[in-house]
Chain A
Amino acid sequence: MNEKIRTSIGDHARLPINISDLADDADLYQAGMTSHASVNVMLALEDAFDIEFPDHMLKRSVFESVASIRAALIELQPGVRV
């Protein structure tokens, strides 16, 4: 799961550094992800995991790190293999 998350971030977050250089709990916004780029990351994650983020998850903390995204995806996909 983390690799698919990292691929979505790497392809769409427009970070000035390589996603592989960031720890799972590193703050993506501090690393350079803009609010607009976070929209693209969200849509890429929806494609990759065949889910849709509900409105109550459209907040900064959900998309601020690999770890927080992973937690949200697990909440959306109970029983998913982690």
Chain B
Amino acid sequence: MPFRVGIDLVSVDSIGDSIGAHGDRYLLRVYTRRELDECRAADGIDPERLATRFAAKEAAFKALHVGDQAVAWLDVETIRDPTGLVQLSLRGGAADIAARDGISTLSVSVSVARGHAMAIVIAEISKTADSEPMTQTIRRT
């Protein structure tokens, strides 16, 4: 089965700077309400957690080969399940690309160290394109 891989690295400070510069406009344009709830700490939104989510979104864009197609950041949602694993859920333009290209599963792994968050996404391509848009996958933050 063929695969595609996407990787992204983002500075945690840059996330904090964006919140400082643009506040809720930044948060609501890039992250879903659910993502924001999951990245909330006792003293407010945690930039480090958001950085892992942003890196996962960008890595997914690369694994999907988004290129110059219009895809919103909200089209890729990162969801933490009760066991601590993170899944990717696609909608809109991202889901259309996955269906068109026959991508059946996206697997994501994220990590944070020394002020940077990194994510790797692997897309598995099934034989037939234009199947059901997928809502899958895995790995813990």
Contacts and interface: CB of A to CB of B under 8 A. Distances in A.
Interface of A: 12, 14, 34-37, 39-40, 43-44, 46, 55-61
B21 A40 contact: yes
Given A39-B18, A43-B26, A59 B69 contact: yes
Contacts of B11: 36
Contacts of B73: 39, 58
B71 interface: yes
Interface in B3-19: 8, 10-11, 14-15, 17-18
A30 B44 CA distance: 35
A37 B21 CA distance: 12
B18 A59 contact: no
Contacts, number: 51
B90 interface: no
B115 interface: no
B21 A59 contact: no
B92 interface: yes
A59 B26 contact: no
For chain B, which range describes its interface: under 10, 10 to 19, 20 to 34, or 35 or more residues? 20 to 34
A60 B68 contact: yes
Contacts of A34: 10, 14
Given A39-B29, A55-B93, A61 B18 contact: no
B58 interface: yes
Contacts of B15: 36
B71 A36 contact: no
A59 B70 contact: yes
B12 to A, nearest CB: 11
A46 B26 CA distance: 11
A40 B8 contact: no
B103 interface: no
